[in-house]
Amino acid sequence: MADDGERIIEVFKKFDTNSDGVISKEELTTLLTALGPDMFTGESLETLLAAMDSNNDGKVQYAEFVHWLTTEEAEVSQVWEVAMPGKDLPKGPLARLDAIIGMSPHLSGNLTYMEARKALEKGEEDSAYLLSDKLLLQLESDASRIDAAFMRFDYSGTGFLDRSEVAAMFQYLGFPDPSEDDEVKTLIKKLDSNGTGNVEKEEFKHFVEEFGGLDALFARRRERALRDRTSSASASSTSLSTLSREEIQVHMLAAGIEPEAQAYWELVLPQSEIENVYLLTDCQKQAVSNIRRIAKVNHQQHLPALQRRVAALGFKDMDLWTTLSWVRDFAPLIVHIHFDKMCKFLLEDTHYRSQFETGSSCGLNNREVRQRWERDLFQGAYDGCKDFERPKYGVLNVHNDYRGVVRAKQYGDCYMVLRDARLRTTFSPEDSANLKAERLACLDYYAHVLHEYTDDELRETLKVATTGKLGSSDAILAKGLKYKEAQYHGEVAFARHVERLVLPKVDKYTGREADIKKVCEKNGWEWCWMEEEKARREAMEAEDASDEKMIAWKAKLKAMAERPSEDVKVPEGFCVKGCGKPVADGLTKNGNPYKTCCRGCALGFGHDLRCGLKDGERPPCKMGCGMLAAPGKTSRGRPLDTCCRGCAKGGEHDVRCTKDPSE
């Protein structure tokens, strides 16, 4: 059964149609019916469902699904053949390989494919057949990831990418702005092979395949995530490459990271970031899972109000999506320290430790009070745990300030930049003392915390995210402990989870360069003075603006050819994002039915102001004035989202604001 592990998780995801991490009774019925319409009667189906659902919660968890399959080994092949397309492939290994490559030509350069061809040359047909099966798994995995990527770029939920969405996709992936680059503009026209002015999913799929797969397409996005990493730090990272993908995914599920979120993180984060979730202990996974579950609900509830605030500050919805992406993907995670006080500790110890282990703190040093705080924050997940397992605390450098977070200087005038911690970090809008779990967030469910920012804090965050420039943490409210705290779950090992040390060039440190170098050499860190850090980040901004690697990317795009491929089926009438809501009423500006419930859901950030409205109903004015949006549509066929032109421009309500459209 060990050989079936990867198959099982692929089958599980295939039938978990709404990607919520469980299989509902309805989803399972579809699976069993596909196995054979006459295989189960109503009574036997209920009996089987009861046997699968061991905890009687009405849903089949992944562990329950695995248990069912592994107790009846014959069922695995049956379920596999129903879920995956392999049963329709030719039986001979060579013909089977050719058929798979025919479905996805970019796999011809795949290592597994080349190994299969070599096995055939040696006459090892059994090995070639097994390798072709592995290649089929990769094909299925790519199909689901391509679908997820397409939906991420289909911001309006129309089922195709219009010109603005294609431009946004290129920008997201790191290409030049098409409006400023004639070569990219020409390539975009070539991408639209049928000349409709839009990129259909079939065209997008071929675009991805000819590029070499999603991993190649998202490489620049991952490069940006990796850009700060030094060769010495990377070399010192502990490899978890012996872990199977299935093992890592199961541990991510235990930490509350659902399959759809897993697919995204696999595209944009280095593998080491994902693998570090595996290192979390049970209590740490439970803490992260608790916060993710609560934060998802709060994020959704606060997103409409946050949209109104962003609009009132003079920014657009796309600026908000960009800001949430900045927080999710790139905002630095740091820990402020007093280097002069910690030098000996940094040399002698291997881990950054909480006050439960050290007995010291720059804040409240009271064990019992801290235990109560963490019980409230993480819903008792750390009750009875070891001191080493408790979270460590730092800050989110959301304003990309080269000085760190100036309001957190009480914890130290220097700071360490962390890596491989994004998926296991939770956040609060201020110091977490006496806060409840409802005030916490995670990187992909952050709207409710962002909504707690003051106008100055929010404005600065929007500016940093949309311009890519350095910002100033002076925008954070000076009164009170309003820095944006981060809680790091799991270990913070100096050699694996810290990549650089940044210090102010002041007298107490300029004479200790030998000590600084000794600490950094021992732990494999880079280090610099704050002014040097400023110059380094500004240089990275310049590199983004004129990247020589762009030539190679353009060459790949030039070589692409377009051809249609089969579309991916989704449940009819429901949002393709898997949220469970019906699609929006009405048609797009091009006359096509909507594929999502709302624009916010299409972007992957939750339900927006218009979600759930029937055709003709009006949402509140997005400027937050309290009026309903005006009836009618824009010149582009979109429903109006402000009450009047005056309000839309940030001024006073105009004379027609309260009038009936029939007047």
125 in the same domain as 16 = yes
Does residue 415 register a pLDDT over 90?
Answer: yes
Top mean-pLDDT range of 8-22, 228-242, 440-454: 440-454
Report helix, strand and coil shares of the chain as percent, to nearest 5.
55, 10, 40
Does residue 568 register a pLDDT over 80?
Answer: no
At which of 473, 492, 524 does a domain end?
Answer: 524
Residues contacting residue 629 through CB under 8 Å, at least 6 positions apart: 618, 619, 620, 621, 622, 639, 640, 641, 642, 643
Does residue 393 register a pLDDT over 60?
Answer: yes
Answer yes or no: is 361 within a domain: yes
Give the pLDDT band of residue 564 (cuts 50, 70, 90): very low
The average pLDDT across 645-659 equals 67
d(CA 291, CA 437): 7
Domain span at 344: 316-524
Task: Pick the more confident residue, 218 or 528.
Answer: 528
Distance in angstroms between the alpha carbons of the first and the last residue of the chain: 72
Could you read off the pLDDT of 422-454 as tens digits, one per residue?
A: 999 999 999 988 899 999 999 989 999 999 999
The pLDDT assigned to 513 comes to 94
In which residue are the tokens 């995204």 written? 264
Answer yes or no: is 561 within a domain: no
CB 337 within 8 A of CB 415: yes
Does residue 12 register a pLDDT over 60?
Answer: yes
d(CA 168, CA 325): 13
Could you read off the pLDDT of 136-191 as tens digits, one per residue?
A: 766 666 666 777 677 767 755 677 887 767 777 776 676 766 666 776 677 677 67
Tally of structural domains, the chain = 3
Give the pLDDT band of residue 558 (cuts 50, 70, 90): very low
At which of 118, 145, 172 does a domain end?
Answer: 145
CB 562 within 8 A of CB 206: yes
Q: Which amino acid is at 420?
A: D
Answer yes or no: is 257 within a domain: no
Top mean-pLDDT range of 111-125, 374-388, 566-580: 374-388
CB 178 within 8 A of CB 184: yes
The pLDDT assigned to 352 comes to 94
358 in the same domain as 487 = yes
Answer yes or no: is 205 within a domain: no
Residues contacting residue 404 through CB under 8 Å, at least 6 positions apart: 334, 336, 395, 397, 414, 415, 473, 502
Q: Of 289-303, 307-321, 339-353, 632-646, where does mean pLDDT reach its minimum?
A: 632-646
The average pLDDT across 49-56 equals 72
CB 82 within 8 A of CB 39: no
630 in the same domain as 514 = no
646 in the same domain as 519 = no
The pLDDT assigned to 605 comes to 61
Count of CB atoms situated within 10 Å of the CB of 361: 14
The average pLDDT across 25-49 equals 62
d(CA 574, CA 275): 33
Answer yes or no: is 33 within a domain: yes
pTM score of the predicted model: 0.62
Answer yes or no: is 159 within a domain: no
The pLDDT assigned to 385 comes to 94
Could you read off the pLDDT of 475-499 as tens digits, one per residue?
A: 887 776 789 999 999 999 999 999 9
Give percent of the chain with pLDDT exceeding 90: 28
Answer yes or no: is 611 within a domain: no
Residue 137 sits in a domain of what CATH number? 1.10.238.10
365 in the same domain as 504 = yes
Answer yes or no: is 397 within a domain: yes
At which of 92, 118, 145 does a domain end?
Answer: 145
Cα angle vertex 417, ends 374, 341, to 5°? 75
CA torsion sign, 446 to 541 to 415 to 462?
Answer: negative
Does residue 525 register a pLDDT over 80?
Answer: yes
Residue from 33, 26, 93, 32 nearest 59 by CA: 26
639 in the same domain as 507 = no
Top mean-pLDDT range of 342-351, 359-368, 545-554, 648-657: 342-351
Top mean-pLDDT range of 173-187, 361-375, 647-661: 361-375
Give the SS3 label for residue 635: coil
The average pLDDT across 346-358 equals 91
Give the pLDDT band of residue 211 (cuts 50, 70, 90): low
The pLDDT assigned to 19 comes to 66
Long-range Cβ pairs for the range 572-577 (8 Å, 24+):
575/157, 575/601, 576/151, 576/157, 576/159, 577/151, 577/601, 577/602, 577/604
Could you read off the pLDDT of 68-117 as tens digits, one per residue?
A: 665 554 444 455 544 544 445 676 778 877 777 776 665 666 677 788 88
Give the SS3 label for residue 564: coil
The pLDDT assigned to 661 comes to 39
